[in-house]
Amino acid sequence: MPNFFTQIGYSVSANSLPLQTRLQENRLPVRNEGCRSQFLLHSAPTPKVCLFFHGFTAAPYQFLPMGRAFYQAGYNVIIPRLPGHGRAGDWNGKNPPPLPEDAEVYKQFALSWLRHAQSFGNEVVVGGLSGGGTLAAWLALEKASQIDRALLFAAYLSSSNKVIDLFVKVLNTYFEWQTDEPGEPIGYKGFTFPDLRVFLDIGSEVLKRSRTAASPPMFVISTETDRAVSNPDHETLVENLLPRQPKTWYYCFDRALNIPHTMMTKAEGNRWESLLNVIAKAFVQSDLTWAEIEEIAYRMTEGKTCNQAVAELGLTRKASPDLPALITMLDKREIMIKRNPSWDSEIS
């Protein structure tokens, strides 16, 4: 129970920060309501507060479904508009949107919003999609002791095609997204390559630092149908982190689910949006190592339910009620072969 002065300070912040942000965005102005920073705040500080960064050229609307899921679960949620994003204007190749070309702008933005988030909860969970995932990963490594958990959704550490990376590194031209959706997009429809180069550089820094840096628990999520980012880089990140942070998790959605790079909402192509929200909560609400996750999954191959395996291992208090949703989807065959390499040829 917060004391009187803590409650007063919280109430002031909970009212002033959204108001100040809204006034600043009115002065820009923003393209539409979907581009506004979002604040889902309870009447008092919460044990954990979520700080979510949306994707490159997109806007805070991407994290509203997940934000609402965490809010309903008792978390405060902040989804700030990234620098230079979501501004109204006639943006095109001759007049490109005002996106930053300096990584320091994004880094200082992330640090500033971390300080804001710390006013709304005891522990901070940071997350992000694509370029926002890159920024979340950087922040988690930069301020490892101040971050409780990190959720990385299709983080842009590099492109799915190295030729594209080369273009991003050397070209300064304008690129426009190809979309089948009618009407104007909520965010920007294009960008110049130097704007994206910033995230490629931060992604490279994240991979390099992950080899030696301290890290909070991270959940790295990929999808096999992602045509934008490098899933092998996600696997490398996890391999780098696991020796020093055993509570690092990884999951890649199967191709059969047809989940796109823009995985946060049904509106942007993920009909399994609610499943994504559930497994994200399972991670944040659990305190399990990846080895324990694999052991639970392995015991399920012996006929046990997830909850039975969790209880048998004495992990009930460390496991989220949502954990079965993730464990059910894990590739049990891969786990069995990992423990019994000689079975590979037999199962094949």
The stretch 10-36 carries a mean pLDDT of 96
pLDDT in tens, 311-331: 999 999 999 999 999 999 998
pLDDT in tens, 113-124: 999 999 999 999
How many angstroms from the chain centroid is the CA of residue 81?
Answer: 15
Tokens 């052991």: give the residue.
Answer: 295
How many angstroms from the chain centroid is the CA of residue 138?
Answer: 12
The stretch 23-47 carries a mean pLDDT of 97
Averaged pLDDT score across all residues of the chain: 94
Percent of the chain with pLDDT over 90: 85
pLDDT score recorded for residue 8:
82
pLDDT in tens, 176-205: 987 766 567 899 999 999 999 999 999 999
The stretch 83-98 carries a mean pLDDT of 97
pLDDT reading at 347 higher than 60: no
Task: For CATH 3.40.50.1820, list the domain ranges present in the chain.
Answer: 4-285
pLDDT score recorded for residue 5:
54
pLDDT score recorded for residue 272:
97
pLDDT score recorded for residue 332:
80
Q: Which residues contact 291 (CB under 8 A, 6 or more apart)?
A: 246
Architecture of the structural domain at 4-285: 3-Layer(aba) Sandwich (3.40)
Q: Could you tell me the pTM of the whole model?
A: 0.95
Percent of the chain with pLDDT over 70: 95
pLDDT score recorded for residue 181:
64
Whether the CB-CB separation of 151 and 136 falls below 8 Å is answered with yes
pLDDT score recorded for residue 343:
64
pLDDT score recorded for residue 160:
81
Nearest by Cα to 223 from 181, 267, 275, 182: 275
The stretch 90-103 carries a mean pLDDT of 97
